[in-house]
Structure 1
Amino acid sequence: MLIISIVTYNPDLGLLSRTLISLNESVGFAKISAKIKLIDNTQHDSVILNEDWVAQYWKGPLEIIKVGHNAGFGIAHNLSFIYGSDYHLILNPDIDISFSSLRNALDFMEVHPECGLLTPYAIWGDGIFQRLCKRYPTVFDLLLRGFAPAFVKKLFQTRLERYEMADQLNNHDVLWDPPIVSGCFMLFRTDVLQQLGGFDPRFFLYFEDFDISLRAGKISRIAYVPQVKVVHHGGHASRKGWRHIWMFGRSMVTFFNIHGWRWW
């Protein structure tokens, strides 16, 4: 049994419909029992994002939870946790999953019971490889990657590639134990996620995936599995305005206060 948790906030319905269609195809190909729990953080009642709309694209069991306010990413996902499932997929509403990805992911988890968290091979919408695995960051790494202009990033390209584990990631080899993986696609064993207590509510948005990755790595193993392929259309906090930049900075401080500061 697989629970698929998707949190939305004023979602792009075009991207969300593509996500649901790809899920429907991938679940069907895998021949598994799966339920979507859609947690809507939108602050006004949406007459569009309802069961009838979702049913156009997703044909399986569904539960929509209307939070009524923006509870944040991690807290909203925590509302989806239930006992009785074997696996729990944390998924962004802007992810396209290849038809064979869920079968490949669950086959890997079944063969490797030591794996408590799986992350996929991802590309951006333009086809460029998106590295979802990271080494432990420094403040400089985060500011450089998130906000520096292109010519400055080019000067520190070797450093950024090391942070993004470019020396170890490819499209065919499994990589065990990357320290940090992205929250856009996190396939957990449900019992591991429950041991962790879900996401830390101190993170409203950003770095909740960094935090839970580090905690998951202490009680199980994390695997990057490139046979699980997705297209990710989101990201880029610096392009979303000053409010997102402020939230990024606040969560960064929270992260380093918990796990230890590294400046350079």
Structure 2
Amino acid sequence: MSIPKVTIITLNWNGKKDTIECLESLKQVTYPNYEILLVDNGSTDGSAELFREHYPGIKIVENEKNLGFTGGCNIGIKKAISDGADYILLLNNDVAVEPDFLDELISVAKKNENIGILGTKINYYDATDQIWAAGGFINYWICLVAYHGMDKRDTEKYSREKDVDFVSGCAMLIKAGLFQKIGLLDERYFAYFEDVDICLMAKKNGCGIRYVPSAKIYHKVSRTSGGALSPFSLYYNTRNKLLFLRKHFHMPQLLTAFIVIMAVFGIRTLYLLIFRRDIRACSMIFKGIEDAFIGRFGAQI
């Protein structure tokens, strides 16, 4: 029986320190048929040149500008498909992996033809016994999109394989043929919510989403975007949550979820204004709301 070919796509944008650690981690992977495709998103720190010199065994694609997570990944996905990949693994550059993580993912994928997307157990890089994500769930009445197990101790509870609503794009294995059914990542998102979006698109096309806890990685969390309260994160999370709501929700959940998330945006703005006195952060929330309503998507800040 032939061994499926896996293309690991990782993006780099002026993050060569994290990317190098990720690439060194991938050297230890035990799965016998994989390649690494590094997409450099317009870095200005000499990253691409360094990778070409020190990692001659990997494929490198250089974009002229930062196309975001969605655009950068889509460039890689199209190349991976044209080069004959059976599976495509989207992997953040700020992670370290267990050597057998890919074996575990492929083992589950091969046994379940109806599964289209698989995700790993993701623990914190700096607290390896603590869960960051163990698959995700969605409450459609309040548009709560969250990870199972976040900040919990890694126990047996989170070591059971199961179907979930979505898995994190931090480490997402996708059957290459799925893209022919649902298309590529929606580039309107640029960054954030694109992983939840593609999981829902897969489910609408009859494909399962599976959390595989025996496949394990460690995530540094928000290294590229600057953290959850950075202007980048606040803007794209705000705008893209409204895009996600418009794209996937229907009445009556659409109405209740819209009311709830607008209230949450208001509370967050008050917190940033009163306790942090961060006018710029507040403006990013307002800009995200405005752009979502007028349909201004893609790269905006």
For 1:79 and 1:2, the matched residues in 2 are separated by 16
Alpha-carbon displacement from aligned partner over 1:167-220 (angstroms, at most 9, x marks no partner)? 9x93421112x1122110000111013322110111111111111111112221
Correspondence 1:51 to 2:38: no
Correspondence 1:77 to 2:77: no
Query: Which among 232, 251, 260 is matched to residue 219 of structure 2?
Result: 232
Correspondence 1:22 to 2:11: no
Q: Which residue of 2 aligns with 1:241?
A: 230
Please state whether the residue corresponding to 1:179 is helix, strand or coil: coil
The letter of the residue matching 2:36 is: I
What is the deviation of 1:252? 1.4
Please state whether the residue corresponding to 1:224 is helix, strand or coil: strand
Q: Which residue of 1 aligns with 2:160?
A: 173
CA contact (8 A) 1:45 1:68 kept: no
Alpha-carbon displacement from aligned partner over 1:16-61 (angstroms, at most 9, x marks no partner)? 12211221211xx2222x2211111135372644311334xxxx4x
Please state whether the residue corresponding to 1:135 is helix, strand or coil: strand
Q: What TM-score do you get using the length of structure 2 for normalisation?
A: 0.71
For 2:232 and 2:120, the matched residues in 1 are separated by 29
Summarize the alignment of residues 82-161 of structure 1 with structure 2, pairs less than 5 Å apart.
Answer: 82-83=81-82, 84-125=84-125, 126-127=127-128, 128-137=130-139, 141=144
For 2:147 and 2:169, the matched residues in 1 are separated by 15
Correspondence 1:164 to 2:147: yes
* Change in CA separation of 1:131 and 1:45 when aligned onto 2, cut-off 3 Å: closer
* Change in CA separation of 1:46 and 1:92 when aligned onto 2, cut-off 3 Å: same
Please state whether the residue corresponding to 2:157 is helix, strand or coil: coil
Summarize the alignment of residues 189-204 of structure 1 with structure 2, pairs less than 5 Å apart.
Answer: 189-204=175-190
Correspondence 1:218 to 2:204: yes
Please, what is the CA RMSD of the aligned residues?
A: 2.5
Q: Which residue of 1 aligns with 2:6?
A: 2
For 2:170 and 2:7, the matched residues in 1 are separated by 15
Q: Which segments of 5 or more consecutive residues in structure 1 lack a partner in the other structure?
A: 143-162
What is the deviation of 1:240? 5.6
Q: Which has the higher contact order (CA 8 A, sep 6+)?
A: 1
The letter of the residue matching 2:218 is: V
CA contact (8 A) 2:123 2:219 kept: yes
Q: Is 93-102 or 244-253 further displaced after alignment?
A: 244-253
Percent same amino acid at aligned positions?
A: 24
For 2:96 and 2:86, the matched residues in 1 are separated by 23
* Change in CA separation of 1:8 and 1:240 when aligned onto 2, cut-off 3 Å: farther
What is the deviation of 1:121? 0.9
Please state whether the residue corresponding to 1:136 is helix, strand or coil: strand
Query: In the comparison of the two structures, how many residue pairs are matched?
Result: 234
For 2:108 and 2:50, the matched residues in 1 are separated by 33
What is the deviation of 1:235? 3.0
The letter of the residue matching 1:244 is: S
Alpha-carbon displacement from aligned partner over 1:42-86 (angstroms, at most 9, x marks no partner)? 35372644311334xxxx4x2211111111111110111223211
For 2:143 and 2:166, the matched residues in 1 are separated by 17
Q: Is 38-47 or 245-254 further displaced after alignment?
A: 38-47
For 1:65 and 1:218, the matched residues in 2 are separated by 32
* Change in CA separation of 1:206 and 1:132 when aligned onto 2, cut-off 3 Å: farther
CA contact (8 A) 1:95 1:231 kept: yes
Q: Which residue of 2 aligns with 1:150?
A: none
**Which has more radius of gyration?**
2
Query: Which among 217, 230, 240 is matched to residue 251 of structure 1?
Result: 240
What is the deviation of 1:120? 0.7
What is the deviation of 1:141? 4.1
For 1:241 and 1:164, the matched residues in 2 are separated by 21
Alpha-carbon displacement from aligned partner over 1:64-118 (angstroms, at most 9, x marks no partner)? 1111111111111011122321110001001111011111111111122221111
For 2:131 and 2:100, the matched residues in 1 are separated by 19
Query: Which among 56, 60, 63 is matched to residue 64 of structure 1?
Result: 60
What is the deviation of 1:239? 4.1
CA contact (8 A) 1:171 1:227 kept: no
The letter of the residue matching 2:220 is: H
For 1:194 and 1:49, the matched residues in 2 are separated by 34
